[in-house]
């Protein structure tokens, strides 16, 4: 399903803390992360985000209250992972992961 700009983006406080630590640890400014989320909000299908659907079991998606999971570029090495619930039009940010981490985790 194609996303549109009607989705609300949610970052839970615990995840925001983890993201802040990760950004500091990898030397990426929070403004870059915020810019990427802004692009996602304005146009989730913006080509520069390279939004890619992740293959996750239906059982895992159900546990996450999600219909789909995606990753998109923070930079060449790091990706932002999101969970999408189409019924309530919510995008939940799961975190920032190294490209290799995503291949192992998802």
Residue 1: inside a domain: no
Task: Give me the percent of the chain exceeding a pLDDT of 90.
Answer: 85
Number of domains the chain contains: 1
For 31-58, the pLDDT digits (tens) are: 999 999 999 999 988 999 999 999 999 9
Query: pLDDT of 5-29, one tens digit each?
Result: 899 999 999 999 999 999 999 999 9
Give 1's pLDDT tier (boundaries 50, 70, 90). low
Q: Hey, which residues does 9 pair with through a beta bridge?
A: 91
Q: Domain for residue 48, yes or no?
A: yes
Q: Is residue 3 part of a domain?
A: no
Residue 17's domain is classified under what CATH number? Answer: 3.30.2310.20
Domain containing 29 equals 8-105
Strand-pair partners of 85:
90
Q: Is residue 56 part of a domain?
A: yes
Strand segments (E) across the chain: 8-10, 52-54, 68-73, 78-85, 90-98
Q: What is the pTM of this model?
A: 0.91
């Amino acid at each position: 399903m194609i996303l549109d700009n009607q989705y609300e983006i949610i970052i839970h406080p615990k995840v925001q803390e983890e993201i802040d630590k990760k950004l500091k640890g990898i030397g990426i400014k929070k403004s870059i992360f915020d810019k990427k989320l802004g692009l996602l909000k304005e146009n989730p299908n913006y080509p520069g985000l390279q939004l890619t659907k992740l293959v996750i079991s239906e059982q895992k998606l159900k546990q996450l209250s999600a219909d789909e999971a995606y990753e998109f570029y923070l930079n060449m090495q790091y990706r932002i992972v999101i969970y999408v619930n189409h019924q309530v039009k919510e995008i939940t940010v799961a975190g920032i992961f190294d490209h290799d981490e995503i291949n192992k985790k998802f």
